[in-house]
């Protein structure tokens, strides 16, 4: 029955286009902005190892499950869960998975758009020569000036949200296919150039050592208090953040990949596509790390300096590089595109739902969702200036940090947990066998074992560990 289903939003013209679109969703600010800054905050190599393990043991198997659900249901994530729960005689409560994803999408978009706005602002800085010859202090000052200004942040945030709504309104396929096939490879080439520059001009040995030397004690101890009286204790937080980031960077657990899966042609191999997407995503993150940390160390920045890390270090790199005005402009334009193709996928599940089940027009749906996320985003923008003080914080986190923490580290892994439980226990082996059509039985058995036991248990263990159960 699933064979005859077609999505009302049209289909990707080929498996390669689906891979490109999924890579477009996965590769974004998560890889280039967030991965380096959280790796810096959590001390480097050991954090990277845990993150890579999470990608391999949880991310890849869950992505296969999420795509196969999407293709089977051929609807919005909410519609898909409704349909599949009915077909598999499972509880209708599974539809909550779809609604949870829509909420997570709003939360993420409401801070994602603000950070993408920073990238937009840096396009203009770079193009106008504002980064030329900039010193470390100058780069800090420039970044501080941007995030300290509510007006500027709101302006760029609004512009980016408009760009997102404009593409989603036209339909993901029309808006995305052509742009992505050119811009993603271009971003990759730019990153390789940046790594080359970091190799020649930065402290490459120290940067690479920071990224790849694994000192587990350093990462899993959380130290607080002044330097002379540091209070260190074992903490599960880095583990939770590494797992959350594996979900965030692969766009998993909230229905984005499920929505894209709904447009995948029937005969395309899900396994091969998943591995390609995860490999490309991981490669981009590691390249970004290799481009950034050598510059961070060479110019005396702090790896743990937070969300501004790449904006400060890259400004210094472009400022000192011959032709840096051009390279910088091109780089930030590509970063904006990478963020754009990700934010589009954040909106798609909710838009597809309004269109599929409520009969809305794509344009109106995109507008409503963009407007809601934009409003929520005001709080994220103000977190860096007017609302940065302790009186506006909850659990020591600003609104921006709180939304990121809740969505990335709690909601996405929870979504992933329920996806694996539905596929492995509620729907059962026949559906997975049918959709994955893996030729080699032992490969299917391996995935089946991981999705039944390893992935769900892994997620639960990390959750329990983070609240101190063990
Ligand atoms: N994967 C994107 C990134 O790394 O920037 C962010 C993202 C997009 C997360 C879509 C979740 C999502 F559904």
Question: What's the average pLDDT block by block, 10 residues per block, for the chain (470 residues)?
Answer: 65 86 95 96 92 97 97 94 96 96 96 98 97 96 98 98 92 72 87 95 96 79 69 80 97 96 89 96 97 94 93 95 92 94 93 90 95 97 97 94 96 98 95 86 95 98 86
Take residue 300 and report the two structure tokens written for it: 């005396």
Model pLDDT, residue 467: 83
Residue whose entry in the numeric block shows the structure tokens 């845990």 = 50
Q: 26, 97, 101: which to mutate for ligand 1, most atoms within 8 A of CB?
A: 26
Task: Give the H/E segment covering residue 231.
Answer: strand 231-234
250 CA to middle of ligand 1, Å? Answer: 6
310 burial level (CB within 10 Å; 0-12, 13-18, 19+): buried
Residue 30, Cα to own-chain centre: how many angstroms? 4
What pTM was computed for the model? Answer: 0.94
CB of 30 closer than 6 angstroms to any ligand 1 atom: yes
Residue 45 and residue 295 in contact, taking contact as beta carbons nearer than 8 Å: no
Take residue 432 and report the two structure tokens written for it: 């997975």
Q: 342, 343, 369, 373: which to mutate for ligand 1, most atoms within 8 A of CB?
A: 342
266 burial level (CB within 10 Å; 0-12, 13-18, 19+): middle
CB of 346 closer than 6 angstroms to any ligand 1 atom: yes
Model pLDDT, residue 1: 43
Going by the DSSP 8-state scheme, the letter that residue 3 receives in this structure is G
Q: How many CB atoms lie within 10 A of CB 470?
A: 7
CB of 382 closer than 6 angstroms to any ligand 1 atom: no
Q: What angle do CA 174, 177, 182 make, to 5 degrees?
A: 135
Going by the DSSP 8-state scheme, the letter that residue 406 receives in this structure is I
44 CB-near residues (< 8 Å, 6+ apart): 210, 211, 213, 215, 218, 219, 303
322 CA to middle of ligand 1, Å? Answer: 33
Model pLDDT, residue 218: 67
62 CA to middle of ligand 1, Å? Answer: 15
- Number of structural domains the chain divides into: 1
379 CA to middle of ligand 1, Å? Answer: 20
- The rounded distance, in Å, linking the Cα atoms of 73 and 1 is 10
Report CA-CA distances (Å) from 367 to 165, 345, 380. Answer: 6, 15, 20
CB of 342 closer than 6 angstroms to any ligand 1 atom: yes
- The rounded distance, in Å, linking the Cα atoms of 72 and 422 is 13
430 CA to middle of ligand 1, Å? Answer: 30
30 CA to middle of ligand 1, Å? Answer: 7
CATH at residue 73: 1.20.1740
251 CA to middle of ligand 1, Å? Answer: 4
- The rounded distance, in Å, linking the Cα atoms of 271 and 400 is 35
Residue 165 and residue 367 in contact, taking contact as beta carbons nearer than 8 Å: yes
CB of 249 closer than 6 angstroms to any ligand 1 atom: yes
CB of 28 closer than 6 angstroms to any ligand 1 atom: yes
Model pLDDT, residue 228: 73
Residue 195 and residue 291 in contact, taking contact as beta carbons nearer than 8 Å: yes
CB of 31 closer than 6 angstroms to any ligand 1 atom: yes
Take residue 351 and report the two structure tokens written for it: 């838009």
CB of 343 closer than 6 angstroms to any ligand 1 atom: no
Model pLDDT, residue 274: 97
CB of 255 closer than 6 angstroms to any ligand 1 atom: no
Q: Whole domain around residue 297: which residue ranges?
A: 2-466
- The rounded distance, in Å, linking the Cα atoms of 418 and 441 is 25
Reported as half-sphere exposure (CB side, CA atoms, 13 A), residue 113 has a value of: 35
CB of 254 closer than 6 angstroms to any ligand 1 atom: yes
Model pLDDT, residue 437: 78
């Amino acid at each position: 029955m699933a064979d005859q289903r077609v999505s009302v939003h049209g289909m990707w013209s080929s498996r390669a286009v689906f891979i490109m679109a999924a890579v477009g969703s996965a590769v974004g600010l998560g890889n280039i902005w967030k991965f380096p800054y959280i790796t810096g905050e959590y001390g480097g190599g050991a954090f990277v190892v845990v993150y890579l393990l999470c990608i391999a043991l949880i991310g890849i198997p869950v992505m296969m499950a999420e795509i196969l659900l999407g293709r089977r249901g051929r609807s919005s994530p909410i519609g898909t869960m409704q349909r599949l729960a009915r077909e598999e005689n499972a509880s209708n409560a599974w539809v909550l998975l779809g609604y949870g994803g829509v909420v997570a999408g709003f939360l993420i978009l409401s801070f994602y758009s603000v950070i993408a706005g920073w990238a937009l602002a840096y396009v203009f800085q770079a193009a106008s020569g504002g980064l030329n010859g900039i010193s470390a202090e100058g780069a800090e000052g420039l970044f501080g000036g941007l995030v300290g200004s509510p007006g500027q942040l709101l302006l760029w945030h609004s512009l980016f949200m408009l760009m997102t709504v404009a593409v989603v309104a036209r339909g993901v396929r029309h808006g995305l296919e052509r742009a992505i096939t050119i811009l993603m490879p271009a971003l990759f080439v730019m990153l390789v150039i940046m790594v080359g520059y970091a190799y020649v001009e930065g402290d490459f040995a120290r940067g690479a050592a920071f990224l790849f030397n694994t000192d587990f004690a350093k990462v899993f101890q959380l130290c607080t208090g002044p330097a002379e009286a540091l209070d260190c204790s074992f903490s599960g937080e880095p583990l939770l953040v590494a797992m959350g980031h594996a979900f965030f960077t692969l766009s998993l657990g909230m229905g984005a990949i499920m929505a894209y899966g709904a447009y995948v042609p029937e005969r395309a191999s899900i396994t091969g596509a998943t591995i390609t997407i995860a490999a490309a995503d991981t490669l981009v993150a590691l390249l970004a790390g290799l481009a950034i940390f050598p510059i961070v160390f060479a110019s005396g920045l702090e790896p743990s300096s937070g969300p501004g890390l790449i904006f400060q270090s890259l400004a210094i790199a472009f400022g000192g590089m011959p032709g840096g005005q051009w390279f910088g402009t091109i780089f930030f334009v590509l970063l904006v595109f990478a963020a754009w193709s990700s934010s589009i996928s954040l909106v798609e599940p909710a838009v597809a739902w309004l269109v599929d089940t409520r009969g809305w027009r794509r344009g109106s749906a995109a507008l409503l969702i963009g407007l809601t996320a934009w409003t929520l985003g005001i709080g994220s923008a103000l977190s860096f200036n007017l609302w940065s003080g302790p009186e506006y914080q909850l659990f020591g986190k600003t609104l921006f940090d709180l939304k990121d923490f809740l969505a990335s580290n709690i909601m996405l892994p929870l979504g992933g947990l329920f996806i694996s439980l539905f596929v492995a226990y509620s729907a059962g082996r026949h559906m997975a066998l049918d959709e994955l059509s893996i030729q080699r039985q032992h490969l299917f058995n391996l995935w089946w074992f991981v999705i039944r036991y390893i992935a769900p248990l892994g997620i639960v263990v990390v959750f329990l560990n983070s609240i101190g159960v063990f």
